[in-house]
Structure formats: C-alpha cells, structure tokens
Copies of this chain bind each other. A is one copy, B any other.
Amino acid sequence: MAKNKGQRRPKATTPKGFRDYFGAEVTARKAMLDRIAAVYHRYGFDALETSAVETVEALGKFLPDVDRPNEGVFAWEEEGDWLALRYDLTAPLARVAAQYRNDLPTPYRRYAMGPVWRNEKPGPGRFRQFYQCDADTVGAASVAADAEICAMLADALEEVGIPRGDYVIRVNNRKVLNGVMEVAGILDPSDPSKFEAERGIVLRAIDKLDRLGVEGVRALLGEGRKDESGDFTKGAGLGDAQASIIMSFVQVNETAQKQLVRLSRSVPEETGSQLRVAAYDSNKHVDAGWRDEVTSKIWNRQVLSVLMDISGQSEIGAEGVKELAEIANLLHAQDYGPDRIIIDPSVVRGLGYYTGPVYEAELTFEIKDEKGRPRQFGSVAGGGRYDDLVKRFTGQAVPATGVSIGVDRLLAALAAKGRLDNSAQGPVVVTVMDRTRMADYMRMVGELRAAGIRAEMYLGNPKNFGNQLKYADKRQSPVAIIQGEDEAAREVVQVKDLILGAKLAQEATLEEWKSQPAQVEVPRADLVATVRGILDRHK
C-alpha cells in the first residue's frame, strides 16, 4: 500500500468520536478553567499535569490478558509494554502519589485539568476525548478535607458565573448507608461479602427514586417490579421490616420536614415560625435561599437526628452521621449554610464507589429539554472520599477525597445562563484597495495592534472588493477600514462600523440612516481614535 501512496487521497476527517474546537469554543472553556484554577490555587491546591500516556499496569483497570486491553481505554503495545491514554485524572494521581510519596507534602492538595480519553461507543454529545477538571486532597483522613472541597466547589461555581441560589451542593456519606444496611440486616460487618448482590440491587433501586417514585423503589426492594410495558425486574427480596428500614432512609428529608412542622406547633410562636421556615425551605430544596443561619442549622440538625434514629444502632452508621455533623459544623463556621451546601441523604450516586462522604453539585435553575419542557439542569460536579487510592501500588492505605467538575456540562450551563464568555471578538479588518500600497495598510494594522486593538490586513486575493467585505462578515469584524487612491491622496480613511451597518440594514428608517452614518471619513491621523470610539460604543 505504501507504494501507491500518491494514488489515493486521504480522507480529511477526525477519527469517529473525536472532534475539533474552534475559536470561542477553545477560549471560553479556557477562561472558565482559568477561573476555577484561581479558586483552587487560593485554597492551596497545586497544579499537576501528568502525561497523557500511562502504562496499562499503572492505570490498573486493564491487564493484557487478552490479545489487547481494549475495553474502555485506547491502548497499544510498545516494545513489550502496554501503554494507554489516561481515561480519567484520578488514576494518574494515584500513580503520582505513590511514585513521589517521599517528595510530596502530606497532605498533598492538587488540581488537574486536561483531556481524557475513553474507548467507548460515541453518541450525540458523547465524545471519546473530553476535558476533566479535578481537585483532590491525598493523605488527609479528617473530614475537614471533604468540607474544604465542598466549600471550594461552591466558590468555583460562583466564580465562573453560577449565582448563589442557582446551585446546591448535596453531601451524604457512604457510611450512613452502610449503617442502614447493617440495621436492615443485609450487611454483616464481620463478613462484608455476604448479601453483596442484595446490596447492589438496593443501591440501584434507591438511585431510581426520582424516576420510579416511592412505590417503585419499594417494589424493587421486595419481590420486584413490573413496568408499564409489562417487563418484570426482579427485586432484592427483602422482607417488609427490612424494606421499611431502607425506605425510611430514602425518605429522610420528608421525615425531617414533618417532624419540624409538628414540632413548630408545640413551641412558642417565634421559635415555631423559624422551624416552619426551615421545613418549608428544605422542601423547596434550597431554591429560595435560607432565611438566616438559625433556620439552616435547624434543618441540618433535624436531618442528622433522623439519620441517627435510623442508622445509629450500627457503629459505622453512627460514625457516618457524626462525620456529616462535623462537615456541617465546619461549613457553618465559614458561613456555607444549606443555601449552598446541604446535608442530603438522597444523594446516592457514586455511593458504590466511595468509602466515606460523597458530594454532588446540582444546578437548580430550569432549562428547556429537547421537547421544550422545563427541567432542572441537574448535576455538574461530584466527588467523595476513596481511601484505597494508593494502596494497590504501595500496600499502604492512603486516605483521599476529591471532586471532578463536568467541564462540558458546566460550559453548557453557563451558555444556558448567558454567562459564557464566547463573544466573537472579530478583528478590525483593513481592506486592500490598492495592491501597491500594502505597506501603508500594514502600518495602519500595526498602529491598531499597538493600541491593543485586534486587527488584521486582508491577506486574500484583493481583486474582488466584495470578497473582502464578505470575509469581514465571516470574521464577525466590528469595523472595516478602507483607503483607496483618492483617500490616500487626501490623507483620510473610511471607517465602516459593521455592527451598526448590519443593524441599520435590518431595521432603520431613511432618517436614521442619515443621522447615524455607518461609514465615516476621518483624517488618517485619527484612525486609531475613531476605531476605539466605535468599539467602545458597542461594548
């Protein structure tokens, strides 16, 4: 085939599932990541950029026991070693934490931003290369590290342009759920491998609360559930008593709310109204903001008390509730109340993976879905504690906790809120009327650039002047500069306001056309000042 090199033209296309990013797509993402990085830096996190390529052995998930390890990663063999593109930023962190364990500070706070690669079936909006943005603390057992990351996540969201009230960070704890499972008799601390299948079904069932509702989850905990199409999903087979313990966990928020409302009727009116406010706000899941610190503390305390009622008989459950209380306490100390960060046992996503506190950032404003129906924007970041990060390399357990922001999701959210910095910022275009006077045009461009104004000379074939204006249009240029022989002789230039011109062309009356000329002739010496004036007017 190599012999026939010249015979067939190669296809100019990205590989399936990959894409290119142009102009503002690149700079808007970069601007967002820069803002996040500034917050992470302020929190004492250090940048880390690992190589895109890792050994398959270090990545861990995949071993070359078959012909090649192609499940989920892009991998290839290199002089007997299997190499692969990283599929996330956590596996490389684990490798780094082990490799440099004698040199890195303990704890090691690091952030990382960059592309990762997944060898998965691409779909609409799903690409095989995409950005991740992570922050992790390695080597800190204290839940103060978890609290810190939640606070940092809140700051980062506000910094990129999600206003307070439009997001909420929900915190739960794997240990609490383990406690509930223990109380329900489907987790035996002395033999954790027992009932594993049942626990898996329970986790998946709880995760479907939003979709199936209380009845649906209850059915999946018992014998099973038949959906509308008649398909039957086998359940966990729990007895009534067991299932109702799990259901009480699923409904902690509702219980806490009812308790607060009931309590409010038996106390003096002033306290009572505070309790009702706390209960009411919780019901709206923070949307309206919390009246004051007192009511927010009441809410967290009430939720924690219900959780303790359910799981406190179990040692691990009590520990989990205590950790959540500590997190709430540390966050309150910095004025991160439940208007931003809330203890919420309904967060179960990722509970199967994490070992302690988990957290999820959700955007609470509504957008329209494909069919025009309003829906909540949903999750943009998540994380938690995973204490086995470094163990597979060194044999030593190292506590770690971290968060990952969904870069594309967050960009989409900012776009939906009109907060994306993707203004076109086209350049001023100096047109070429007279090919022998390129040096003059270049000098104009040079003056504009020296004044900090984005500018270019038209570098295509200048013969057809219409093409030059079409080019300026394609570039979304705010201003075009024109100087023909006649203007040059009179030492003037024509300055054409393309933004105003487009507006006038669409909607102006004859009078407006006359009173607001989109093109002005000014002395050559006034070029920069005139352009600056137009740009300032359109800011």
Question: Chain A interface (Cβ within 8 Å of chain B)?
Answer: 1-3, 5, 9-16, 18-23, 25-27, 30, 41-44, 46-55, 57-58, 60, 63-65, 70, 74-76, 78, 81, 83, 85, 94-96, 98-100, 105-107, 109, 115, 117, 119, 128-129, 137, 139-142, 144-145, 147-148, 151, 155, 326, 329-330, 332-335, 392-395, 425, 427, 438-440, 442-443, 445-446, 449, 452-457, 459-461, 471, 474-475
Q: Is the CB of A15 within 8 A of B107?
A: no
B49 engages A20 (CB within 8 Å): yes
Q: Which residue of B lies closest to A395 (CB)?
A: B9
A151 partner residues in chain B, CB cutoff 8 A = 446
Partner of A51, one of B15, B27, B475: B15
A9 and B396 CA atoms in complex are apart in Å by 11
Contact (Cβ within 8 A) A9 B394 = yes
9 A–B contact pairs at CB < 8 A?
Answer: A1-B63, A13-B55, A20-B100, A21-B48, A42-B455, A53-B74, A105-B474, A142-B459, A334-B445
Contact partner, A11, options B58, B83, B334, Cβ 8 Å: B58
Task: Please tell me which one of the listed residues B60, B70, B117, B449 contacts residue A53 in the complex, with CB atoms under 8 A apart.
Answer: B117
User: With A1-B65, A9-B393 given, can you name 12 additional A-B contacts, CB distance below 8 Å?
Assistant: A5-B63, A9-B392, A12-B94, A44-B427, A44-B455, A44-B456, A51-B129, A52-B85, A140-B460, A144-B438, A155-B449, A330-B442
Residue pair B51, A471 in contact (C-beta under 8 Å): no
Closest partner residue, chain B, to A39 (CB atom): B449
Question: Which residues of chain B are near A2, meaning CB under 8 Å?
Answer: 63, 65
Contact present for A12 and B47 (CB under 8 Å): no
CB distance from A465 to the nearest CB of B (A): 15
B residues in contact with A445, CB < 8 Å: 334
CB-defined contacts of A19 to chain B, threshold 8 Å: 51
Assess the B22–A333 pair: CB atoms within 8 A: no
**Nearest B-chain residue to A94, judged by Cβ:** B12
A55 pairs with B15, CB closer than 8 A: yes
Question: A121 → chain B, closest Cβ, in Å?
Answer: 11
Chain B's closest residue to A446 (CB) is B334
Q: Give Cα distance in the complex from A117 to B52, angstroms.
A: 9
Cα distance A360–B329 in the bound complex, in angstroms: 60
Which of B51, B64, B455 is in CB contact (< 8 Å) with A18? B51
Number of copies: 2
B395 & A15 in contact (Cβ 8 Å cutoff): no
Q: How far is the CB of A47 from the nearest CB of chain B, in Å? A: 4
Q: Which of B14, B18, B52, B144 contacts A459 (CB under 8 A)? A: B144
A456 touching B109, Cβ below 8 Å? yes
Evaluate contact between A14 and B65: CB separation under 8 angstroms.
no
Interchain CA distance A329-B474 in the complex, whole Å: 30
Q: How far is the CA of A140 from the CA of B65 in the complex (A)?
A: 53
User: Contact between B454 and A20 (Cβ–Cβ < 8 Å)?
Assistant: no
Q: Are A15 and B50 in contact (CB under 8 A)?
A: no
Q: Are A10 and B53 in contact (CB under 8 A)?
A: no
Question: Chain B nearest CB: distance from A149 CB in Å?
Answer: 11
A44–B25 Cα gap in the complex (Å)?
Answer: 16
Residues of B within 8 A of A16 (CB): 81
The answer, among B76, B95, B449, B460, for a CB contact under 8 Å with A42, is B449
Cβ B76 vs Cβ A47 within 8 A: no
Which B residues lie within 8 Å of A55 (CB)?
Answer: 10-11, 13-15
By beta carbon, the residue of chain B nearest A119 is: B78
A372 CB to nearest chain B CB (Å) = 29
Cβ–Cβ < 8 Å partners of A14 in chain B:
50-51, 54-55, 95, 99
Which B residues touch A460, using CB under 8 A? 106-107, 139-140
> Complex formed: what's the CA distance from A57 to B54 in Å?
25
What's the nearest-Cβ distance from chain B to residue A445, in Å? 8
Say how far A135's CB is from chain B's closest CB, in angstroms.
Answer: 12
Interface pair B53/A459, CB less than 8 Å apart: no
Bound CA–CA A76/B330 (angstroms): 50
Asked if B461 contacts A99 (CB within 8 A), the reply is no
| CB pair A393 B10 closer than 8 Å | yes
Most buried by B among A51, A55, A115, A140: A51
Contacts of A332 in B (CB 8 A): 439
Residues of B within 8 Å of A425, CB to CB, are 41
